[in-house]
A and B are shown apart, each in its own frame.
Chain A
Amino acid sequence: MSTLPPPFDRSEDADERYRRASEHDPSRPSEATRRAVLDHAARLAAERTRRAARRRRLMALLAPRWRPAIVGTLAVAVLAGVVIAPQFLAPTAPSESQRAREALPAPAPAVNAPAPAAPAARPARPSVARERPRVAASANHSDALTARQLEQQADAGAARAAPLEEPVVVTGARSLAQATAAASRGAAVAAPVPASPPAQVDPDALRQAAAAGDLTALRAQLASGSDIEARDAQGRTALMLATVGGQADAVAVLLAHGADPSAADAHGTTPLRAAVAADERAIIAMLRRYGAR
């Protein structure tokens, strides 16, 4: 730094003068600034090196020899999700007894109701309860009917029941798509029964299904035209067996299909008495709504 800078020459270009003056300007950033900048840059570089190492390890994991295992695991996970998720996502249908209760008019004051004029005459029952057997009654003649006619009858029943939100019993003859179409018309469609071959008429099977609370078999028997009032050796109807077995949902289905709520067995015990004896309160309430004695 011992060289003397030449003085400005008046004829010199401004850029040249600037450069010459700058060359002899000892102004520099402080050492602290330089150190801070370089330290900061070194820290970032170290961080980048660590990140790059992590990335390399990840890429090594994704090497071709591991790829089938990773893809397989992912595929299994996706498949499991597809199979399991619908079980959690499917809407929960209300129980049969709940839907039956909601669909019925206010309960008839069975306790205070006047006694019927004649023992043979059935107490007045809700109109819905009278409507439903028509489908079942028609189904009794299903031997002579085509599947198409059965479907039309079932649809007609659903349409009649729609304003009252009566649960529509979907027969095996109806496809899921048809059930969905019925729902879109406003009918409260019960959980559709998967398509299955029509059940054979078997009153024993009907009673067994009622006693066991097997709603699928029960609906199938009703749809196939089994006699809802058929009795076993002790004079018990399907409704009585469902009541004794505490199967509230089966009781609801049978009542909705027009089962006689007061059909007594060979000993004169009515379903209502049996329900009271067993303290089946939900069943008692349903039977009373249907005017059971």
Chain B
Amino acid sequence: MNDAGLSDETLIARYARGDAGSFTALYRRHELRIWRYLERNVGSRATAEELMQEVWFAVARDAERYRPSARFTTWLFTIARNRMVDAVRARRAHLSLDALGHEAETVVERLTADPGASPLAAAEARDQAVVLRQALARLPPEQRDAFLLQLEGDLSVEEVAAITGVSFETVKSRLRYARTRLRGLLSEYA
């Protein structure tokens, strides 16, 4: 069945009625965005893998409870953020978002092993990815979180404020600081 033209809300509703194919379509549509949000926030591939499973397990389990009063992506990123915060608070109490190790070196290894990339392209991509990660890692966690929510989740300031539980103005301020800082950091590495 071709699910390409169906909205997220339709797909999750169909999955809630037992259509496994709709979930696969949803997963493929949002996999990369959730992955980047998690991995770039926690800076650890292993932790991101665990969180990735938890987030999508929760989506599958709670599909029947989803109500299309909010956009699916807002619901999805709310789950992702809650899982991430829980993981930091409960399972890794000794760590914080800020302190989670950003594994630039493992990224290098992974990029080198990518069979689809030519050596030069891989090197360039690796450089940019590493630069991006290093720049993100240097942002305060609240600013990084707000920035990643907006860029990866394609969320409005209001939606980010609702998900993070802070005011509209606070989110705007965090985003402004994050962008200013990132611009400087990325220029620095360019």
Stretch at the interface among A5-13, A76-84, A111-119, A129-137: A5-13
**Residue numbers in A under 8 Å from B2 (CB-CB):** none
**B118-A21 in contact (CB<8A):** no
The stretch that binds A, out of B14-22, B83-91, B159-167, is: B14-22
> Does B110 contact A45, Cβ atoms closer than 8 Å?
no
Residues of A within 8 A of B5 (CB): none
Residue B6, interface by CB 8 Å: no
B121 with A5: CB separation less than 8 A: yes
**B190 in the interface, Cβ–Cβ < 8 Å?**
yes
Inter-subunit contact B117/A27 (CB<8 Å): no
- Asked if A268 is at the interface (CB within 8 A of a chain B CB), the reply is no
A22 within 8 A of B: yes
Q: Please classify the interface of chain A as helix (H, G, I), strand (E, B), loop, or mixed, using the class held by over half of its residues.
A: helix
**What's the minimum C-beta distance from A289 to chain B, rounded to whole angstroms?**
75
Q: How far is the CA of A1 from the CA of B32 in the complex (A)?
A: 17
Cross-chain contact of A45 among B18, B107, B124 (Cβ < 8 A): B18
Q: Are B27 and A37 in contact (CB under 8 A)?
A: yes
Q: Compute how far the CA of A142 lies from the CA of B36 in the bound complex, rounded to whole angstroms.
A: 102
Whether A41 contacts B132 by the Cβ 8 Å rule is no
* Contact among B122, B147, B182, B190 for A10, CB-based, below 8 A: B190
CA distance A45 to B186 in the complex (A): 44
Decide if A273 is an interface residue (CB 8 Å cutoff): no
Q: Is the CB of A26 within 8 A of B111?
A: yes
In the complex the two chains form, what is the Cα distance from A5 to B152 in whole Å? 20
**A2 interface contact, C-beta 8 A:** yes
Contact A41:B20 (CB < 8 A) given known A3-B121, A22-B132:
yes
A33 and B53 in contact, given A17-B186, A42-B20, A52-B18 (Cβ under 8 angstroms) = yes
Asked whether, in the complex, the Cβ of B121 is within 8 Å of the Cβ of A33, the reply is: no
Interface string of A23-40 (1 = CB under 8 A from B): 011111110011011101
A26/B186 in contact, CB under 8 A: no
Query: Does B129 have its Cβ within 8 Å of any Cβ on chain A?
Result: yes
Complex: chain A residue closest to B151, CB-CB: A18
Give the Cβ gap from A11 to chain B, nearest Cβ, in Å: 9
Encoded as 1 (CB less than 8 Å from any A CB) or 0, chain B from 55 to 86 comes to 01100110110000000000000000000000
Indicate if the CB atoms of A21 and B53 lie closer than 8 Å: no
The residue among B20, B36, B45, B178 with the most chain A CB atoms within 10 A of its own CB is B20
Complex Cα spacing A204 to B35, Å: 102
Q: Is the CB of B110 within 8 A of A41?
A: no
With an 8 Å Cβ cutoff, the count of chain A residues facing the other chain is 39
**Which chain B residues border A36 with CB–CB below 8 Å?**
53
Residue A278 at the chain B interface, CB threshold 8 Å: no
Instruction: Point out the residues of chain A lying under 8 angstroms from B35, CB to CB.
Output: 27-29
CB closest chain-A residue, reference B123: A4
Give the chain B neighbours of A46 by CB distance below 8 A.
18, 20
Whether the Cβ atoms of B23 and A27 lie closer than 8 Å is no
Please state if B61 and A1 are interface contacts (CB–CB under 8 Å). no
| Alpha-carbon distance A41/B21, docked complex (angstroms) | 9
Q: How far is the CA of A33 from the CA of B121 in the complex (A)?
A: 27
Is A15 close to B, CB under 8 A?
yes
Q: Kindly state whether residue B155 has any CB partner on chain A within 8 Å.
A: no
CA distance A126 to B115 in the complex (A): 114
| Any B CB within 8 A of the CB of A164 | no
A15 to B128, Cβ gap below 8 A? no
Distance in angstroms between the alpha carbons of A18 and B40 in the assembled complex: 12
- Which residues of B line the A interface, CB within 8 A? 15-20, 23-24, 27, 31-32, 35-36, 39, 45, 48-49, 52-53, 56-57, 60-61, 63-64, 107, 110-111, 114, 116-118, 120-122, 124-125, 128-129, 131-132, 147, 151, 178-180, 182-183, 186-187, 189-190
Some 21 contacts from A to B, beta carbons below 8 A apart, are: A8-B189, A13-B183, A17-B132, A18-B132, A19-B151, A21-B129, A21-B131, A22-B36, A22-B132, A24-B124, A25-B36, A25-B125, A26-B111, A26-B114, A27-B107, A29-B52, A34-B31, A38-B23, A41-B23, A44-B61, A52-B17
* 7 closest residue pairs by CB, A with B: A8-B190, A49-B18, A45-B20, A24-B125, A21-B132, A41-B60, A37-B56
Known: A33-B52, A41-B20. 15 other contacts (CB 8 A): A4-B124, A9-B190, A17-B182, A17-B186, A24-B128, A26-B111, A26-B116, A28-B31, A29-B35, A37-B52, A37-B56, A37-B57, A41-B56, A42-B20, A48-B64
